[in-house]
């Protein structure tokens, strides 16, 4: 069979068709690549949106938790102010010195309220996530707590002994909320009839950590229940089924974790109970935490 020959025009048509097919194939490949990029980008956007929703949910929960704790903290200075005023009204102006002392206490409590409100505003401004670390003398934190809790201390008749506590690089705002909730529980669950003081002291641990111990007397709190409340797996959907002291303890575990530490309870053989807070001497920052403030 003789070999078929093509005219120049036919060859041009063949080349044109091949070029068109190659071009269409190239365009299809490019379209597929573009479509793949769009799909991946949309997938990443959806993933980021899901992460942002989770983050927003966590932030809202933290704001609720902080509001719960802060509202209780605000009540203590108010209780002290009310107690001082009632004392002045009931006893009258027996001595000018007494008046001045109690009015000084009222003024101090008012200042504490002002500071607490400022701290709440600060907490909201930083979107409830950032932790601002700075050197903090723990003895000062406990003394501020005790000043706010003066009415509770007097009503329970508890004697408190405090040892020398360390200076830690931590967040003083959240630490004070943490300590106050621990102190409230120790004071309320302490057995005064044992005539033993409530003790606050510290022990240095290995690895740059300190253990802060709040020790009370008697089986003031159900240890098994306390283990459940302090457990990271505590179901906070049950928050309305427990009292405010128990709720405060469950939130303390969150604060301690944010500060790079841990919290646990112990029951002593002598009938004592203690809350143990382990905190780093130097700040341990997580990815969501802010710089030193």
* Residue 267, domain member (yes or no): yes
Give the per-residue pLDDT at 241: 47
Q: Residue 292: its pLDDT value, please?
A: 41
Q: What is the predicted pLDDT for the residue at 85?
A: 72
Please state, in angstroms and rounded to a whole number, the distance separating the CA atoms of residues 212 and 90: 40
Residue 114 is assigned to a structural domain of this protein: no
> C-alpha distances in angstroms, 178 versus 133, 159, 174, 229, 250?
15, 21, 6, 15, 11
Specify if 9 maps to a domain: no
pLDDT of res. 288 = 42
Tell whether 38 is covered by a domain: no
Whether 270 is in a domain gets the answer yes
With tokens 């950032």, the residue in question is 130
Asked if residue 32 belongs to a domain, the reply is no
Predicted confidence pLDDT, tens digits, the chain (293 residues): 555 565 655 555 655 666 666 766 777 777 777 777 887 888 888 888 787 777 777 767 666 666 666 666 666 777 777 777 777 666 665 666 777 777 777 777 777 776 666 666 555 544 444 567 899 999 999 998 898 888 788 888 888 899 999 999 998 988 988 898 899 888 877 776 666 789 999 999 989 999 999 998 865 455 555 555 555 554 544 444 445 555 567 678 888 888 999 998 888 777 788 899 999 999 875 544 444 44
Q: Give the pLDDT of residue 137.
A: 96
Q: What is the pTM of this model?
A: 0.58
Q: Answer whether 109's CB lies under 8 Å from 148's CB.
A: yes
Local structure of 137: helix, strand or coil: strand
Is residue 231 assigned to a domain? yes
Structural domain including 193 reads: 130-293
The residue among 287, 288, 286, 285 whose CA lies nearest residue 134 is: 285
Q: Is residue 53 part of a domain?
A: no
Helix residue ranges per DSSP H, the chain: 8-91, 96-125, 138-148, 150-156, 172-189, 223-230, 244-258
Split into its structural domains, the chain has a count of 1
- Look up the CATH number of the domain holding residue 289: 3.30.565.10
């Amino acid at each position: 069979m003789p070999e078929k020959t093509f005219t120049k025009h036919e060859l041009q048509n063949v080349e044109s068709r091949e070029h068109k097919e190659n071009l269409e194939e190239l365009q299809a490949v490019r379209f597929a690549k573009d479509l793949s990029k769009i799909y991946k980008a949309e997938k990443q956007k959806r993933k980021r949106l899901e992460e942002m929703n989770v983050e927003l949910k966590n932030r809202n929960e933290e704001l609720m938790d902080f509001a719960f704790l802060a509202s209780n903290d605000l009540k203590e200075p108010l209780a002290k102010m009310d107690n001082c005023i009632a004392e002045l009204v009931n006893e009258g102006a027996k001595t000018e010195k007494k008046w001045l002392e109690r009015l000084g206490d009222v003024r101090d409590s008012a200042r504490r309220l002002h500071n607490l409100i400022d701290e709440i505003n600060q907490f909201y401004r930083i979107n409830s996530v950032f932790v601002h670390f700075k050197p903090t003398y723990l003895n000062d934190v406990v003394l501020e707590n005790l000043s706010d809790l003066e009415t509770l201390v007097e009503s329970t008749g508890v004697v408190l002994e405090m040892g020398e506590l360390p200076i830690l690089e931590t967040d003083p705002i959240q630490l004070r909320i943490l300590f106050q909730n621990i102190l409230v529980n120790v004071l309320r669950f302490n057995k005064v009839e044992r005539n033993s003081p409530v003790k606050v002291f510290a022990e240095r641990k290995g690895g740059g950590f300190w253990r802060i111990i709040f020790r009370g007397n008697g089986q003031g709190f159900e240890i098994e229940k306390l283990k459940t409340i302090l457990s990271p797996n505590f179901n906070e959907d049950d928050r309305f089924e427990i009292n405010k002291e128990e709720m405060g303890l469950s939130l303390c575990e969150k604060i301690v974790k944010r500060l790079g530490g841990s919290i646990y309870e112990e029951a002593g053989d002598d009938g004592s109970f203690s809350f143990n807070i382990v905190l780093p001497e130097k700040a341990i920052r997580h990815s969501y935490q802010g710089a030193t403030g």
